[in-house]
Amino acid sequence: MLTDRQKSILDFIQSEQREKGMTPSTREIQKHFRFASQTSVMQYLDALERKGFLDRHARKARALITPAMKVRITDIPIYGQIPAGMATLTEQTVEGHVSLDMRSANISKSGRTFALRVRGDSMIDAHIVDGDIVILEDRKDVQSGDIVAALIDGETTLKRYVTEHGRPYLKAENPRFPNLTPARELRIQGVMVSLVRKQPAGQRRKRV
């Protein structure tokens, strides 16, 4: 049996998972319930885990499984911005995390997954626009037609990987941008598996 407060916290976690596709952080739970500290939140999460309503993964505060939702939420680091226009050097620093259901985001359990924030419009015909967050897996089995983050001649970009007559190049999905053929080096940094787009505040509809 759950106490009223335990049930309220579980309901809040499941509601956030349903509506946002991510698990609330301990700080967000603290703020929502106006707890004096995160210690109280951890005590409630411990109780929910002991009673079998949550499953937490070590060192991943947001990696929670709720039996009612049957989802596995995991944190994915966001590394700076990657251009979806002309290739530009980017600084690979973690600027935050995005929490997603592994199954719905096509994330494998064994692969190294990371996210990049897109800027530019060279991939608009692939429905990837400025401000999107692309989810990528660091893997070797890249296929012609995959959308990839790639290092080409020392610069990083997001493009479609194409091979013709055994020679690879990076294809833009916007006729205003040229394709990129490596002069010296082409190294695949990640293969896109999913995309996250934040709906502009002005376009959100009120629930009725």
Instruction: Extract the tokens encoding 195.
Output: 């995309």
Please name which of 57, 195, 51 lies closest in space to residue 127, comparing C-alpha atoms.
Answer: 195
Is 159 marked active-site?
yes
Please name which of 160, 3, 201, 190 lies closest in space to residue 90, comparing C-alpha atoms.
Answer: 190
In the set 60, 140, 159, 198, the catalytic residue is 159
Q: Taken in order 174, 175, 178, 180, is the CA torsion positive or negative?
A: positive
Residues 143/153, Cβ–Cβ less than 8 Å: no
85 membership: H or E segment, kind and range: none
Is 122 marked active-site?
yes
What's the rounded Cα separation, in Å, for the pair 156 and 150?
A: 6
The identity of residue 175, as a single letter, is: P
What's the rounded Cα separation, in Å, for the pair 64 and 49?
A: 9
In the set 122, 144, 198, 206, the catalytic residue is 122
Please name which of 75, 127, 120 lies closest in space to residue 99, comparing C-alpha atoms.
Answer: 75
What is the SS3 assignment for 67? Answer: coil
What's the rounded Cα separation, in Å, for the pair 108 and 106?
A: 6
Question: Which positions are catalytic?
Answer: 122, 159
